Amino acid sequence: MAKTFVLVHGAWHGGWCWRRVNDRLTAKGHRVYAPTLTGLADRSHLLSASVNLSTHITDVVNLIRWEEMNDIVLCGHSYGGMVVTGVADQMPEQIAALVYLDAYVPESGQSWADLRPREIPPGLTLPPTSAEVFRVNQHDRQWVDRQCTPHPVACATEKLTLSGEYRAVPRKLYIRATDFPSVAFDRTYKRTKSDPGWIAKELPCGHDAMLDMPDALTEILDAT
């Protein structure tokens, strides 16, 4: 059965990172959207001090509204977990499944800065983390480093306010990319694996699983 997917990238990335998965899901007959969040990649010309987490949540909320989507599989990678949680909290009735791909799963009152292991440096933006640190496969590293752009710092410092409506989404999946070391993601994976309200899976690859293992990730998403 054809499904609708909205794929939300993580920090420093853009919709470009989902190209391989997008192509594979589309070939299976699904409807796929992979928006670039404001201030990043092909929308980097919109970078300003006012771009924050709420901006990115609104990016996706408005996409869903104007494309009149329903029964969505909403997937967030890394920082994108902050975004999809906020989106699902605003429109849970339109989300069939929430997928967190090596992603942060925040509670109300938490910011990305509260959850990430490193301090936020002063300034307007956060410089990209290298593809090598993310354990991206050797073939793609130069390309990923070339594509990544600075991330608006206000996205990291704004705390997420949730009503709890996102908990009504019927299916929740956490995917851990096990070759990327992260205490935060390990902790979340362990918690979701023991929670009967979640499905937890592993992929033996670096943090950018959509680049390292697009076939396996597509199969997981297709089955969600």
- The set of catalytic residues is 78
Residue 205 phi, psi (nearest 5): -155, 180
C-alpha dihedral over 32, 201, 215, 71, to 10 degrees?
Answer: -20
Q: Which helix (H) or strand (E) holds 221?
A: helix 214-222
End-to-end CA gap in the chain: 11
Among residues 163, 165, 156, 158, the alpha carbon closest in space to that of 98 is found at 165
Residue 157 in tokens:
């410092």
Q: Which helix (H) or strand (E) holds 172?
A: strand 171-177
Tell me the one-letter amino acid at 29: G
